[in-house]
Structure formats: structure tokens, C-alpha cells
């Protein structure tokens, strides 16, 4: 019987440039360095029991990354956290270790903080409010079967929006499930086509993963 543990961790600073595939390799190496009794799949090509929740786009920061690990024997959660943190690179910090509560397939939404640096936050915030209050925001979204139209207006939920003189900070909630998944960069790219005040390179930070009922994913 495997001992299943989930870890919530951050991915900030230079770590935001670690791709999802390299992050998987990073955790595999760290597990070996920490000499943890990780469980393996059966068969000709055994794999470590490692599952990530909702892959993060390259260049995005996050305060809510989740990884599930399976071990061949029970471990102290405090000991596990300490041993893993000691070998992880800068920018990846373990916040908590806990027993899984939800299934991975229950993830339906993600909340993001988006920072848009600009020369005039007041005017840019005005442009944003005008943009997001449109009846429809139609864009072409790339899928495995090609492109299809989606209406970002009906998929985007604004939590907060504020002006800080040389930037605006937006908090939004978007679908992040297996059937509907919207990257916030699509929304901001479309917004950039409808502004009077141009903004510099946007900064994205994922703040939460949520279930269908919009409760936190654990």
C-alpha cells in the first residue's frame, strides 16, 4: 500500500523559468538526493509516483503549486518537508504537506494576480473596465484539433482591480479544468489590442486552484 502525500509549494523568482518537464526532473532528482522511499509503478519501465496538479505556463510565478507523491512506507510529514526543502532549488518553497482530500480531476478553476506596468495606471484601469464590461470578448483559442472561438467575457470572473500609479493589479478567476482551460495570457493579449495606454511585459502569479464549487483544492 502506498503512502500518498500532497505538497503545496511556491514557484517564484528564477524558478518561474523552469519548464514543467524540467520541474518533474527536478523533483525526481531531489527525491533521490533526499533518499526518500518513493514508490514506483510496476512493469518493464517503472516510474516514480509523482503527479502534478494543473501545469503552470513557463514564466508564470505561483503561490499554489501542488504535487502528489506516493511512498512505499509511511513518513513523518514534518520530516518529509524538511528533507525535500533542503535539496530544492531557490524559488521552490514547500508551504505544507498533507493527505489528499480531492481528486485531481476536481480542479476546475484557477485564480491569478496579473500586474501590468504602465505610465498611467488610472487611464489603463479605465481601459480595462471598459474592455471587461464588453458584451462579448471573442478570441481564437488553439486546441489539439485546431482553433475554435471562445467568449472570454463569459469565462472570466473579476475578483478585484486596482490602480497603483505606475501599474494596475488585477485578480481574476478562469476555468482550469480538463475540459475547459483558459490561459490568462490570452485575455491580456486581447486586452492589449484595446488600450490607449500601452503596458509593459505583464507579470502573472497563480494564487489558488479551486474545485467545481469554487472551494480550495487540497
The pLDDT of residue 144 is 74
Percent of the chain scored above 70 by pLDDT?
100
Domains (range + CATH), the chain: 3-100 (3.30.70.580), 105-211 (3.30.70)
Instruction: Assign 72 a pLDDT band (cuts: 50, 70, 90).
Output: very high
**Mean pLDDT, residues 88-115 taken together:** 97
The pLDDT of residue 146 is 80
Asked whether the predicted pLDDT for residue 113 surpasses 70, the reply is yes
The pLDDT of residue 174 is 98
Instruction: Assign 141 a pLDDT band (cuts: 50, 70, 90).
Output: confident
**For residue 137, how far is the Cα from the chain centroid?**
23
Asked whether the predicted pLDDT for residue 2 surpasses 90, the reply is no
Q: How many CA atoms lie within 13 A of 50 on its CB side?
A: 19
Instruction: Assign 196 a pLDDT band (cuts: 50, 70, 90).
Output: confident
The pLDDT of residue 194 is 87
The pLDDT of residue 147 is 84
Instruction: Assign 1 a pLDDT band (cuts: 50, 70, 90).
Output: low
Percent of the chain scored above 90 by pLDDT?
89
- Arithmetic mean of pLDDT over the chain: 95
Amino acid at each position: 500500500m502506498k503512502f500518498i502525500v500532497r505538497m503545496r509549494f511556491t514557484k517564484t523568482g528564477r524558478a518561474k523559468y523552469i519548464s514543467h518537464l524540467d520541474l518533474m526532473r527536478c523533483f525526481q532528482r531531489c527525491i533521490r538526493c533526499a533518499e526518500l522511499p518513493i514508490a514506483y509503478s510496476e512493469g518493464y519501465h517503472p516510474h516514480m509516483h509523482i503527479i502534478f496538479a494543473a501545469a503552470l505556463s513557463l514564466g508564470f510565478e505561483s503561490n499554489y503549486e501542488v504535487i502528489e507523491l506516493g511512498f512505499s512506507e509511511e513518513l513523518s510529514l514534518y520530516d518529509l518537508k524538511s528533507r525535500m526543502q533542503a535539496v530544492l532549488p531557490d524559488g521552490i518553497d514547500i508551504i505544507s504537506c498533507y493527505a489528499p482530500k480531492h481528486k485531481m480531476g476536481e480542479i476546475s478553476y484557477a485564480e491569478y494576480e496579473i500586474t501590468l506596468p504602465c505610465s498611467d495606471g488610472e487611464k489603463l484601469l479605465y481601459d480595462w473596465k471598459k474592455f471587461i464590461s464588453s458584451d462579448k470578448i471573442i478570441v481564437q483559442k488553439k486546441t489539439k484539433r485546431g482553433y475554435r472561438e471562445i467568449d472570454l467575457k463569459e469565462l472570466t470572473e473579476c475578483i478585484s482591480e486596482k490602480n497603483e500609479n505606475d501599474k494596475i493589479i488585477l485578480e481574476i478567476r478562469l476555468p482550469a479544468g480538463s475540459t475547459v482551460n483558459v490561459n490568462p495570457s490570452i485575455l491580456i493579449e486581447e486586452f492589449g489590442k484595446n488600450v490607449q495606454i500601452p503596458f509593459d511585459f505583464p507579470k502573472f502569479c497563480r494564487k489558488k486552484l479551486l474545485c467545481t464549487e469554487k472551494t480550495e483544492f487540497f
